Structure 1
């Protein structure tokens, strides 16, 4: 069996959050679909709210703090990426966009990406296609066609009976698994990870600090 690495990035602000719930559900479905293809997968989940201050620091200084740098390195080195953002004011969250802004524009080129979004009402269900998907088109990522939108009602008794959340998740998971299976595993050292050429546990911040005598 072939091992693949999936990184999940959830941009929810609360704890617990429906954004994380949707991210967990999508990740579990992707792993199940890969297992049916005799492919094992490891999943690592990052919640952006844990990196909010570091993302701002990165935007202000141009350098990622060590924890954010390590997280981004894992995103870049993953075989596939699952991203889930809450929808605020008809679009992705500011935290999610700020994270996108600190990524190298070429870092996700060709990477399979499965997009999820959630909001209080189904009126925002088109946000994936008109707001989120263009971000990954700009980054030259390979966003699969079936995104997953979940409204508050999808978690309750009044869920959509015509296209239930479980069916939408299963469909997207199948497409992601097919995209992963069609590619060779990512095995090379990540050129965006300073640990590969500065040494384990090092970062550009540490290097600059050393040069400054800190």
Structure 2
């Protein structure tokens, strides 16, 4: 059964360094696992996420995105850092995911920002978030400041080396797990009265 890696990108521009970092991490991990790559762009779902937080009902597009994330064999989550933490859009998306859906799922956390001063947000914001969601968070987190792009030696060493190390950890975690089950093409629809009848309950109107 084939495996799937899903990139969740909270970049706000197009193109964005956040999406670029996610793509590079996914490509590096896919080289080792042969997994397919899917991308969830939160920028395209911003209105749907806000509506769901208010109404409790996801749009079809948001529902598909949540299912893509929860059925993934491994996740790469990337956010820009604003005010020393993940973006509100990033947090809001994971707020609408049902509790327990990410339990045990390998997750590689990554972030981008203008300067390296924001790099600790990975450890005091993102890692605790996914630990709370009971995901299996990879030991190596990847941060890319503006000066890392195209530089041979960033503040924490070469960006490419960090990407390869983190992607290797994710690939090992994903390869050690059974592949996620395939999505059924269509669930059987059972009318409510029939469901009650199976339980020996007579409906009253």
Q: TM-score, normalised by structure 2?
A: 0.87
Shift of 1:159: 4.2
In the TM superposition, what is the alpha-carbon distance from 1:84 to its structure 2 partner?
Answer: 0.2
Distance of 1:161 and 1:9 partners within structure 2: 25
The aligned runs of 1:67-86 (5 Å cut-off) are: 67-86=61-80
Counterpart pick for 2:88 among 91, 94, 117: 94
Structure-to-structure mapping, 1:78-157, within 5 angstroms: 78-157=72-151
Superposition deviation, residue 100 in structure 1: 1.1
- Structure 2 residue 184 is the aligned partner of structure 1 residue 185: no
How far does residue 189 in structure 1 lie from its aligned partner after superposition?
4.8
In the TM superposition, what whole-angstrom CA distance separates every residue of 1:33-88 from its partner, at most 9, and x where no partner exists? 22xxxxx2110111100000000010000011110001100111110111000000
The structure-2 alpha-carbon separation of the partners of 1:100 and 1:197, relative to structure 1 and needing over 3 Å to count, comes to farther
Closer, same or farther: CA 173–189 of 1 in aligned 2, 3 Å: same
Specify the alignment match of 1:163 in structure 2.
Answer: 157
RMSD between superposed Cα atoms in Å: 2.0
- In 1, the alpha carbon distance for the partners of 2:103 and 2:155 equals 37
Structure 2: tracts of 5 or more residues without a match:
191-205
Alpha-carbon distance between aligned partners in 1 of 2:93 and 2:32, rounded to the nearest angstrom: 28
For structure 1, the 5+ residue unaligned runs are 35-39, 200-214
* Structure with larger Rg: 2
Q: Secondary structure at the match of 1:117?
A: strand
Aligned length: 190
Report the TM-score when normalising by structure 1: 0.84
| C-alpha distance 136-15 of structure 1, shift in aligned 2 (>3 A) | same
Alpha carbons 1:108, 1:139 under 8 Å: kept: yes
